[in-house]
Amino acid sequence: MVALAAGLSGSAVKADSPQRVVSLNLCTDQLAMMLASNGQLLSVSPLASDPRSSAMVEAAKAFPINHAQAEEIYLMRPDLVLAGRYTARATVEMLTRLGVPVAIFDPANSLEDVASRLTQMGEALGREDRAADAITDYRARLAKFQAKVGRNPRAALYAANGYTSGDRTLAGQILLTAGFANVAAEAGYAMAGTMPLEVLALAQPDAVITSRPYPGGSRAEEIMDHPLVQAMRTNTASFTDHDWVCGTPFVLRAIGNVAKLRQELEAE
């Protein structure tokens, strides 16, 4: 796995690279923490410290939190701001008008996008060598999962509001690489969407993979308590979402967890 903290061994940041970097997005937070040199990254988003969303909570403790407010960010005097395509658009537009360089990162929709995002972050930070090392490690470990398995049991990704992911999504590719066939793809969901309970029930998947519920009550998550879903609970697994959310090498851990579930099903 790539290093889980900023500023670990690797090439030094180049002289003409940004020295004061602020990240506004959970995924850029984690990519930057992996690749930045000591002192290069100034601040990360609040989600970086949320264990439900972030795979790098411990590393995030070393950085001040920002709230993606234009005035707040500008006063940090950054020479580079990292943002997601859909993150804090008003703030990004204001910073751009003020002459602050902003690097925009698109969401990852495939396992190959993980390497692409590492490359982009390495270039943004002047840490190309560090990014190249991370990509080499990522691809080597991914290749071990991509070996053919004996059979492909069928699984459904099912979350709040009946949200599911097809094969043309990062979550869908995690499922496929772990050795499952994706019920969502069978039902015509190439990307993500809402799968009615009736479709899930008729599909009769071998496993239902869900996210862990948030504390307290949530109407969006009530669907997970429906008798149809409860009837499938014997073959249901709940995984934390923080390894699935972003296009980082932590997707390898997600694949490993799902592969263990497949192996358990095969052993039955």
Same domain, 48 and 139: yes
Q: What pLDDT sits at residue 241?
A: 86
**Distance of alpha carbon 226 from alpha carbon 228, whole angstroms:** 5
Same domain, 72 and 46: yes
Q: Which of 114, 143, 172 is the last residue of a domain?
A: 143
Full pLDDT tens readout for the chain, 268 residues? 444 334 443 455 566 899 999 999 999 999 999 999 999 999 999 999 999 899 999 999 999 999 999 999 999 999 999 999 999 899 999 999 999 999 999 999 999 999 999 999 999 999 999 999 999 999 999 999 886 666 689 999 998 888 999 999 999 999 999 999 999 999 999 999 999 999 999 999 998 888 877 666 677 777 777 777 767 655 667 776 899 999 999 999 999 999 998 888 877 7
Same domain, 232 and 182: yes
Q: What pLDDT sits at residue 164?
A: 94
Count of structural domains within the chain: 2
Residue 53 belongs to some domain of the structure? yes
pTM equals 0.89
Write the single-letter amino acid at 241: D
The DSSP H or E segment spanning 176 is helix 170-177
- Domain boundaries, position 248: 154-267
Residue 260 belongs to some domain of the structure? yes
Same domain, 166 and 133: no
Residue 166 belongs to some domain of the structure? yes
Residue 163 belongs to some domain of the structure? yes
Q: Which of 115, 143, 171 is the last residue of a domain?
A: 143
Same domain, 137 and 75: yes
Same domain, 139 and 201: no
157 within 8 A of 165, measured Cβ to Cβ: yes
Q: Which of 83, 118, 143 is the last residue of a domain?
A: 143
Residue 15 belongs to some domain of the structure? no
Same domain, 92 and 176: no
Q: At 175, which CATH number?
A: 3.40.50.1980
Same domain, 200 and 112: no
Residue 76 belongs to some domain of the structure? yes
Residue 10 belongs to some domain of the structure? no
Q: Which residues contact 244 (CB under 8 A, 6 or more apart)?
A: 170, 171, 174, 251, 254
Same domain, 119 and 197: no
Determine the Cα angle at 248 with ends 184 and 106, to 5°.
75
Same domain, 35 and 138: yes
Q: What pLDDT sits at residue 4?
A: 38
Same domain, 253 and 179: yes
CA-based nearest residue to 119, from 12, 35, 219, 229: 35
